[in-house]
Amino acid sequence: MSTSNELEEVDRIIAMLTYQRAQLTQTSDLQKTLLSPIRKLPPGIMSEIFRFANWEVDPYQR
């Protein structure tokens, strides 16, 4: 195998591993989001929190 072919193969492997890393990172981020403490609150409590939220006030003017 020539040096050029070996380099092409290494580049192909690097590209594949980079893609796999991105996919695993995305999956990990999604799992962290799903396990977030806010998701453990019962829906009724979340409803109450959002019921009292004032959506018409600019948060920087509070």
Q: How far apart are the first and last CA of the chain?
A: 69
Reported pTM: 0.55
46 is a domain residue:
yes
Which letter does DSSP use for residue 1 in this model? -
- Residue 21: pLDDT band by 50, 70, 90 thresholds? very high
20 is a domain residue:
yes
- Specify the number of domains making up the chain: 1
Q: Which domain holds residue 10?
A: 3-56
Supply the pLDDT for residue 58: 64
